[in-house]
């Protein structure tokens, strides 16, 4: 019966995750890729191999993978990628346009603070903050970002 089954182990969960990633499941590829890049979750650190997994998920237009790759490019967290602001911006825009809330928050900040090659565009910044909040009204960061525009009348 069920009460006699073994409890899942961390290693078993990791193997299952890799199995899903190999099948082409984008959220699993993103999780495996991120974990390998930073050597977390029981994975050995190998940034080059981690980026390969992230690229597989990004090739399927998985917004979270695109956002993780944006962060890796922008902050040069993985030496394999180098720092390429133009590529980072493309990844951020694509992730945001596919409906990823964190990417929309990041774009709102870029357009309001004039950073990372983005011009000041208050209307675009407000739009991106509104989209992030509409995607998840319980997201505290989205609410704070949108609220900041209203509070400081920066639009």
At residue 101, the 3 state secondary structure works out as helix
Distance of CA 143 to the CA centre of its chain: 19
At residue 16, the 3 state secondary structure works out as helix
Q: What per-residue confidence (pLDDT) applies to 92?
A: 95
Q: What per-residue confidence (pLDDT) applies to 80?
A: 65
Task: Tabulate helix, strand, coil % of the chain (nearest 5).
Answer: 70, 0, 30
CB 49 within 8 A of CB 22: no
CB 33 within 8 A of CB 69: no
On the CB side of 91, CA atoms within 13 Å amount to 24
**Span 135-146, pLDDT tens digits:** 988 888 888 888
Q: What per-residue confidence (pLDDT) applies to 151?
A: 75
Q: Which two tokens stand for residue 51?
A: 């980026």
Q: What is the dihedral of CA 6, 10, 11, 16, to 10 degrees?
A: 90
Ranges of residues in the chain whose predicted pLDDT is under 50: 1, 6-7, 154-155
Q: What per-residue confidence (pLDDT) applies to 128?
A: 92
Tell me the pTM: 0.84
Q: What per-residue confidence (pLDDT) applies to 91?
A: 95
| Cα(126)–Cα(29) distance, integer angstroms | 32
């Amino acid at each position: 019966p069920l009460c006699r089954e073994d409890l899942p182990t961390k290693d078993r969960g990791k193997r299952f995750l890799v199995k899903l990633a190999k099948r082409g499941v984008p959220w699993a590829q993103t999780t495996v890729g991120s974990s390998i890049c930073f050597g977390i979750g029981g994975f050995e650190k190998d940034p080059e191999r981690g980026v390969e997994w992230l690229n597989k998920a990004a090739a399927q237009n998985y917004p979270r993978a695109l956002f993780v790759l944006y962060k890796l490019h922008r902050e040069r967290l993985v030496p394999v990628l180098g720092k390429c602001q133009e590529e980072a911006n493309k990844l951020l825009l694509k992730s945001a346009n596919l409906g990823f809330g964190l990417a929309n928050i990041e774009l709102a900040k870029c357009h309001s603070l004039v950073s990372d090659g983005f011009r000041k565009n208050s209307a675009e910044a407000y739009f991106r903050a509104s989209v992030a909040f509409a995607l998840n009204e319980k997201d505290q960061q989205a609410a704070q970002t949108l609220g900041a525009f209203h509070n400081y009348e920066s639009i």
